Amino acid sequence: MEGTVEALALRKLRKSFSSSVAVDGMDLTLSRGEFVSLLGPSGCGKSTVLRMIAGLLQPDSGEVLIEGKNVTALAVHKRNIGFVFQSYALFPHLSVFENVAFGLRRRRLAEADVQSRVTNVLETVRLHGLGDRRPSQLSGGQQQRVALARAVVTQPSLLLLDEPLSNLDALLREEMRLELKRLQHQLGITTLFVTHDQAEALAMSDRIAVVNGGRLEQIGTPEEIYAEPATQFVARFIGRSNFLTGHIEGDSGCRAVVRCAKDVRVVIEKRSAHVLTPGSVVRIAIRQERVQLTRAFVADTDNCFPVTVALRAYGGSVQHYILRLQSGAEIGAEVRAAEPALRPGDVAYAGWTARDGRILSGEGWSREG
């Protein structure tokens, strides 16, 4: 049956180096025009995946399909993709203009064509007039934009970016984030973006694929990934969460009670219909910003526990608290700084709704993320 051809499809991609498996049977599909991030810690295999898509690395097994065509055996220079390297890889002996024109010249376009396309794209990335400079004469941010221009000027069907913003300072990085997103939207190129920075991924992506140890942990929209992490690794990697271990005390169908300590019975809203066996050990996650701090006990809340303030760190728009439960376990809370600050030693109550907690899938939490 004829469906829309996927812009990119990875089928059971596998790659191992001498002693370790870098990519472990990865499946992924991208629709045309999508911006998808491959998010994960260093060494999780995401750059390896990117290089296999580009053809710079050969997979041990599996297939890469671009626009429905199996390119796994196709040579690098025939794949018509754009690639932005972490180091930018600008040719030092060529001017900015010639750098950007490089791909067009390989396609033997007419000189006038080359001129106009290069000039246009340089304007698009706001590097107008810098065509004659050498890469070494440009700032980091400018070099980054040349690399981008060079990658998109050939109008590839796929754009791959390997942590392109990691060499920029924090302020520039945030600026470039939005610019990149705007450019991608403007050009409508299917984009795969590799990063270890969750804020980047959350801000820019249509979908995020969280990768760990060569495997896909979860794939979904930024909202889904953030609000509904499927595994402990994802919960840990994105946002700040509290993790508590306990055993099931009761399962009332839509809610479960998890006893974490003598006085800590956490009520959790279940996400799946799966019946939990009383007594089985589970791990739960609660986002730190969902923890409410009050001076007094609030009745009618699902969860409210007495705590002592152990530490407070000021974060500009928020206050970070480390709170100690009566059992001795510590949890973190992120509270808007507008509210009056508590001091270490103060007694307070930490509470959250049943919906704010999540039981992590059993398989997920047995593997440390």
Binding residues for another protein, per CB under 8 A? 54-56, 58-61, 73, 75-83, 85, 87, 89, 91-93, 102-103, 106-107, 150, 154
CB of 23 to another protein, least distance (A): 14
Q: Which amino acid is it at 335?
A: V
Query: Would you report the helix, strand and coil content of the chain in percent, each value rounded to 5?
Result: 25, 35, 35
- Judged by CB, which is closer to another protein: 108, or 336? 108
Asked whether 208 and 35 are in contact (CB, 8 A), the reply is no
CB of 84 to another protein, least distance (A): 9
- Judged by CB, which is closer to another protein: 133, or 320? 133
- Judged by CB, which is closer to another protein: 19, or 252? 19
DSSP for residue 345: T
- Judged by CB, which is closer to another protein: 105, or 271? 105
CB of 368 to another protein, least distance (A): 32
Q: What pairing do the DSSP bridges indicate for beta strands 190-195 and 35-39?
A: parallel
- Judged by CB, which is closer to another protein: 80, or 301? 80
Tell me how long the chain is.
Answer: 369
User: Residue 101 corresponds to which tokens in the numbers above?
Assistant: 């024109």
Torsions phi, psi for 153 (to 5 deg): -65, -25
User: Residue 94 corresponds to which tokens in the numbers above?
Assistant: 């060529």
- 343: helix, strand or coil: coil
- Judged by CB, which is closer to another protein: 60, or 289? 60
In angstroms, the CA 154 to CA 108 distance is 12
- Judged by CB, which is closer to another protein: 132, or 175? 132
- Judged by CB, which is closer to another protein: 77, or 336? 77
Give burial (CB, 10 Å; 0-12/13-18/19+) of 347: exposed
- Judged by CB, which is closer to another protein: 60, or 224? 60
**Sheet with 20-30: strands ordered across:** 20-30, 8-17, 61-66, 69-70
Contacts of residue 90, defined as CB under 8 A and 6 or more positions apart, other chains included, come to 99, 135, 143, 146, 147, 150
Alpha helices, DSSP H, located in 41-169: 46-54, 96-106, 111-124, 140-152
CB of 162 to another protein, least distance (A): 9
Alpha helices, DSSP H, located in 153-298: 170-187, 198-204, 222-227, 232-237
DSSP E strands: which ranges in 276-346? 281-287, 292-294, 303-314, 318-325, 330-336
Give burial (CB, 10 Å; 0-12/13-18/19+) of 280: exposed
